[in-house]
Amino acid sequence: MKIDEVAVGGPCWVEHGSTDPVAAQRFYGELFGWRPETDERPEAGGYTFMRLDRAIAASVSPLYGEGQPTAWTVSFLVADADDAAARITGAGGSVVVQPMDALDFGRFAIVADPSGAVFGLWQAGRLVGAEVLNAPGALGWVELLTRDREGAAAFYPAVFGWTVGPSGQYTQWGLAGDDFGGMLVMGENFPPQVPPHWLPYFAVADVDVSAFRAGNLGADVLMAPTAVPDGPRIAVLRDPQGAAFGIYLAGSEG
């Protein structure tokens, strides 16, 4: 990302919904150096913040809804979750989980774009979002994988006011031109059963070493470490519970 702090309209949070939160905490703790901090209040339902040193980097939670898959959910910061959800539906998207309060942390909704790619809306309360970005072990990029380039390029700027910066075959999303993510069109190499989705990328000090370590921890390597032309070195992995995520070389944002 070219932004170092969460900003309205940009990515602010990533949450891992898991059938086995303890196993997920262990995997990502060993891979990224995260330390779990579970909210012990009964009403929190086992929600766990993952800290990188002292900063909150992400979270791990149980699955709360029937049929909810094990996956990472990317959320974007909004000033008003209810208003943003209305903009989503007005632009042709849908609301999966209606806006609701998340204790004293903030207010959220789960929504989907017109192609079905699911993401979150976050209205800050006590928690603004991730307290660290771009550093090794922290969120550094978000990517939409879709089969509808034109529809996505119209939908997201209408909802969030994003700038759209073509870069060869890769579209980049930004806030006032400061890129924080991109869009990849899903081609024939993606099985038809794989739905459109948002993929978080975490910064690492060494992509090859981290991919190797993830494999030893039980992850699958979906895309081996690769140097992107005019871009960073990246890899795409699937954790032992089935959630996909990417890694990229820290310091090569944008």
pLDDT for res 139: 97
pLDDT for res 110: 96
Domains and CATH numbers, the chain: 11-124 (3.10.180.10), 139-249 (3.10.180.10)
What's the burial of 206, exposed, middle or buried (CB within 10 Å: 0-12/13-18/19+)?
Answer: middle
Contact present, 123 and 79 (Cβ < 8 Å): yes
pLDDT for res 46: 79
Element (H, E) at 22: helix 21-32
pLDDT in tens, the chain (254 residues): 787 889 999 999 999 999 999 999 999 999 999 999 998 888 877 789 999 999 999 999 998 877 788 999 999 999 999 999 999 999 999 999 999 999 999 999 999 999 999 999 999 999 999 999 999 999 999 999 999 999 999 999 999 999 998 766 789 999 998 999 999 999 988 999 999 999 999 999 999 999 999 999 999 999 999 998 878 999 999 999 999 999 999 987 65
DSSP 5: S
CA dihedral 24, 36, 102, 10 (to 10 degrees): -80
pLDDT for res 50: 97
What's the burial of 25, exposed, middle or buried (CB within 10 Å: 0-12/13-18/19+)?
Answer: buried
CB atoms within 10 A of CB 173: 25
What's the burial of 240, exposed, middle or buried (CB within 10 Å: 0-12/13-18/19+)?
Answer: middle
pLDDT for res 254: 52
pLDDT for res 236: 98
